[in-house]
Amino acid sequence: MKKKKIFIAGHKGMVGSALVRVLEQDKNVSLVLKNRKQLNLLDQNAVGRFFKNNKIDEVYIAAAKVGGIYANLKFQANFIFENLSIQSNIIHNSFLYGIKKLMFLGSSCIYPRNSKQPIKENQLLSNKLESTNEAYAIAKILGIKMCESYNNQYYKSHKVDYRCVMPTNLYGPKDNYNEKFGHVIPSLIMRFHKAKLKNLKSVKIWGTGKPKREFLHVNDLAKITVQLMNLKKSTLDKHITNKCSHINIGSGKDLSIKQLSMLIKEVIGFKGKIIFDNSKPDGVKRKLLDISILKKLKLTPKEELRDGLVKTYNSFLNEQY
Kindly report, residue by residue over 216-225, the tens digit of the pLDDT: 999 999 999 9
**When comparing pLDDT for 145 and 65, which is higher?**
145
Cβ neighbours around 264 below 10 Å, total:
24
Query: What are the boundaries of each domain within the chain?
Result: 4-320
Name the catalytic one among 111, 136, 150, 177: 136
Whole-Å CA distances, 234 to 230, 238, 244: 11, 7, 16
Residue 165's contacts (CB-CB under 8 Å, 6 or more residues apart) are 103, 104, 105, 106, 221, 224, 225, 228, 246, 247, 248, 249
Interacting residues of 196 by C-beta distance below 8 A, sequence separation 6+:
268, 269, 270, 271
> Taking a C-beta distance cutoff of 8 angstroms, is the pair 268, 196 a contact?
yes
Q: Which CATH class is domain 4-320?
A: alpha beta
pLDDT in tens, 67-91: 777 777 787 999 999 999 999 999 9
Q: What does pLDDT average to over the chain?
A: 94
Catalytic annotation on 150? no
pTM for this predicted structure = 0.94
Is the pLDDT score of 24 beyond 80? Answer: yes
